[in-house]
């Protein structure tokens, strides 16, 4: 167990004189060169596994975690996480240092990424093979729904084809999954949760890291990591439009580090909140397509984002791109008025979920790039104390039962 002390800073609207704004062009070129090399290595070094798309199943064989027993329904507050470094989701008690005695894993499909939890207790998981449905009471996979898009051989790693971001409609009737098609634009595939099959699809941006839904369910937002955008999809007509979100510009293209990752939908007005580099928060109006920028203070590369009902934004800082100028991993807690508290974390993290009472945040350690670790950080939002819990295999997506 390790602990970290919090530190805070008040936000002021506008940018600092000089700083990254003045050195953006040089840093973009440097980062683009580094990222391009990493991207090329990743794209050429992936080891293919499997040979195409699976068939949908409704009665799969029990996984190794269920062979001995079927556990009782998970107690409230149990976490379920996608194991990006394995083919499973893991259930764990975050109050226990090893996940508790009822900790278990369920096979769902290769390299699971995002997770969305329905009111009926079904967890929907975006894997490289298809969308898995998991009964969280019996802890078994009840379906694996293949994609319609041509995602190529089933592989692992950040650049693998298949599902990435995933979200449920407010009425629970549809699952929206952003599908990465290597070398091409992404696709938003729509799954009917009763029929358990893909019923339509819409082209979106490249590598849809995140998918979100408007509070009224009329719009779906797919965040295109490699295309610097959010695609707004109308769920009545399936028409779409693109909003470019690039507060640092698009210099560097696919090799740029300064791209969007995760989006949070602000409950008060439906605005889309996209953090960049612990310096700039892009606030996009999905109706007009206009984007304005607010200042942030963590000065670290940022990925995961979540917002609570009162409008508090939580953003995961993964660590520095340039250690000489950027700060380390952190969790930013940004109040609705823009005041920020930055809580240091030990090591890279990816996504964050906040307990219903707003007192605890759970941050997954399965960073999509190098430096991930097998566990989560449990953050006491009152004291700033951070406790590390070793669970899962490179956990990315995280939900609270």
| Contact present, 169 and 190 (Cβ < 8 Å) | no
Summarize pLDDT for 239-260 with one digit per residue, the tens: 999 999 999 999 999 889 999 9
What domains lie within the chain, and their CATH numbers?
Answer: 7-400 (2.130.10.10)
Please determine, for residue 3, whether its predicted confidence score (pLDDT) is greater than 60: no
Kindly state the tokens that stand for 326.
């950027």
Q: What percent of the chain has pLDDT over 90?
A: 78
Q: What pLDDT shows up at residue 10?
A: 32
Please determine, for residue 224, whether its predicted confidence score (pLDDT) is greater than 70: yes
- The predicted model gives 279-288 an average pLDDT of 98
Q: How high is the mean pLDDT of the chain? A: 86
Q: Considering just the CA atoms, what is the radius of gyration of the chain in Å?
A: 20
Q: What pLDDT shows up at residue 98?
A: 87
Kindly state the tokens that stand for 7.
């530190």
Mean pLDDT lowest among 65-74, 186-195, 266-275: 65-74
CA gap 349, 302 in Å, rounded = 9
Kindly state the tokens that stand for 156.
């692992």
| Contact present, 233 and 202 (Cβ < 8 Å) | yes
Q: Match 């190529």 to its residue by tokens.
A: 152
Q: Which residues pair with 383 in a beta bridge?
A: none
CA gap 8, 93 in Å, rounded = 29
| Contact present, 368 and 350 (Cβ < 8 Å) | yes
Residue 390's pLDDT band (boundaries 50, 70, 90)? very high
Instruction: Give strand ranges (E) for 156-310.
Output: 162-168, 174-180, 187-192, 197-203, 208-213, 219-224, 229-234, 240-244, 264-265, 272-276, 280-284, 291-295, 301-307
Predicted model pTM: 0.85
In angstroms, what CA-CA distances link 211 with 7, 147, 153?
A: 31, 16, 23
Q: Match 């079927």 to its residue by tokens.
A: 70
- The predicted model gives 231-236 an average pLDDT of 98
Q: What pLDDT shows up at residue 93?
A: 94
Please determine, for residue 41, whether its predicted confidence score (pLDDT) is greater than 80: no
**24 CB-near residues (< 8 Å, 6+ apart):** 248, 249
**C-alpha dihedral sign at 214, 220, 226, 228:** negative
Kindly state the tokens that stand for 163.
């599902």
Residues counted in the chain: 401
Residue 293's pLDDT band (boundaries 50, 70, 90)? very high
């Amino acid at each position: 167990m390790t602990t970290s002390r919090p530190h805070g800073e008040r936000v002021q609207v506008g940018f600092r004189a000089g700083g990254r704004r003045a050195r953006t062009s040089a840093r973009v070129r440097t980062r683009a060169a580094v990222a391009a090399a990493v991207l090329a290595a990743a794209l050429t070094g992936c080891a293919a596994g499997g040979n195409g798309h699976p068939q949908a199943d409704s009665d799969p064989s029990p996984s190794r975690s269920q062979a001995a027993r079927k556990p009782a329904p998970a107690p409230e507050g149990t976490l379920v996480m996608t194991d990006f470094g394995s083919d499973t989701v893991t259930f764990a008690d975050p109050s226990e240092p090893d996940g508790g005695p009822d900790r278990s894993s369920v096979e769902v499909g290769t390299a699971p990424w995002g997770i969305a939890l329905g009111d009926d207790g079904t967890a929907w998981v975006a894997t490289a093979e298809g969308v898995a449905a998991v009964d969280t009471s019996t802890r078994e996979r009840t379906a694996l729904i293949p994609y319609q898009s041509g995602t190529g051989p089933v592989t692992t790693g950040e650049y693998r084809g298949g599902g990435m971001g995933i979200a449920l409609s407010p009425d629970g009737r549809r699952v929206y999954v952003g599908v990465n098609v290597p070398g091409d634009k992404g696709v938003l595939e729509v799954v009917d949760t009763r029929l358990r099959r893909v019923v339509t699809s819409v082209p979106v941006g490249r590598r849809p890291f995140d998918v979100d839904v408007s509070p009224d369910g009329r719009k779906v937002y797919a965040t295109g990591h490699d295309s610097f955008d959010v695609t707004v999809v109308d769920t009545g007509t399936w028409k779409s439009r693109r909003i470019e979100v690039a507060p640092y510009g698009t210099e560097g293209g696919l090799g740029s580090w300064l791209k969007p990752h995760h989006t949070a939908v602000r409950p008060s007005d439906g605005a889309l909140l996209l953090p960049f580099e612990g310096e700039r928060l892009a606030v996009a109006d999905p109706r007009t397509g206009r984007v304005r920028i607010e200042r942030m203070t963590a000065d670290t590369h940022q990925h995961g984002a979540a917002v609570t009902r009162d409008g508090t934004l939580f953003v995961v800082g993964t660590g520095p791109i340039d250690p000489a100028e950027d700060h380390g991993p952190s969790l930013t807690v940004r109040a609705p008025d823009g005041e920020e508290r930055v809580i240091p974390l030990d090591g890279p993290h990816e996504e964050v979920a906040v307990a219903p009472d707003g007192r605890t945040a759970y941050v997954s350690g399965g960073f999509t790039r190098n430096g991930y670790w097998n566990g989560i950080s449990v953050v006491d939002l009152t004291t700033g104390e951070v406790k590390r819990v070793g669970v899962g295999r490179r956990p990315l997506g995280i939900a609270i039962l």
